[in-house]
Amino acid sequence: MSHQNKTSCFFSSLRTPVIFIFTACALSISTASTAASGILSLQTSFDSGDSTSNFIDLSVAVSKETNLFLGTGNTSSSESSPGANDALDLDYRNIGISHRFTDTFTLGLNGSTTEQGRDISSRIIDLSMTWSGDQWSFLLRPEFRKLELLFTPNFGPQRIIDINSTGIGTSLGYLGKENWEFFVTYNQYKYDRNVRRLNIPFVINRISASALTIASSVKDYGVKIDVTRLYAESDITASYGQSKSAVDGSLLNVSNISANFYQFDPVAIGVAIGIIDSGLDDASYYASLNLSYAW
């Protein structure tokens, strides 16, 4: 690890757990309206940093215009930070609802939690507003997040570090070229406290390695580009994204290629491979497999 100052670059050296790459994939079903009565999706993923994630997501049409979404999952890793004896074991829950008010406008509400015992608690509520037409689509997604990290001082009782944030996400899609789709997504976040203080030795040495890993995902902004080629019974998407840490200002780059296959209707198969690179450490790699059943 080529750091000039190992402590100040601690957050940059932490690998982003695979849950933060694939949670968006697992939730993407909740932002779309489907003609099917229901979709059950199973996803497993792993990365070269020795973390694995497993998700189960269910979409049920409660009416012609309204869908209900439920999801659960876990991310685990036996690899912890140097000198630490704890490992990542995050439990994830999600519930959401969407309603299509017109042919061009859909409104969704989603809530999710990510927890690991008393060490970590992350709760997110977001509202999605989607306008779609024949050639263009636009998504606006405000969100509120409450993050709690367990802090253990040398003397005195344990206490909770509370971090509240608000965020806004936008996505613009162009669908006007036959058999092609183009999307650009941007997210920006603000925090109610100076999160850069999480990167000082006094804090680093007194919260668990798993909590540090979650804290390393606290972002200033993120941007992503997706290009999809559509075929009769499949599609292929190439993606590139970059995010900036709100803790230490480091940049994280994620490149991804994914494909979906619909030849086995009502079963769909999705695969993805990607690379995560911070420029400060060796790049890590990840892969996923998704199976969906529609009825």
Q: What is the mean pLDDT of each successive set of 10 residues along the chain, which is 295 residues long? A: 38 47 45 68 91 95 96 82 62 96 97 89 95 96 93 81 94 96 97 86 73 77 97 97 90 95 96 89 90 96
Domains of the chain, by residue range, sit at: 10-294
Candidates 138, 209, 149, 143; CA nearest to 173 is 138
CA distance 17 to 92: 13
Q: Write down the residue that tokens 């709760």 correspond to.
A: 123
Contact 68, 59 (CB under 8 A): yes
**264 and 284 Cβ atoms separated by less than 8 Å:** no
CA distance 194 to 25: 30
Three-state DSSP class for residue 209: helix
- Model confidence, pTM: 0.83
CB atoms within 10 A of CB 84: 12
Domain spanning 10-294: CATH superfamily: monomeric porin ompg (2.40.160.40)
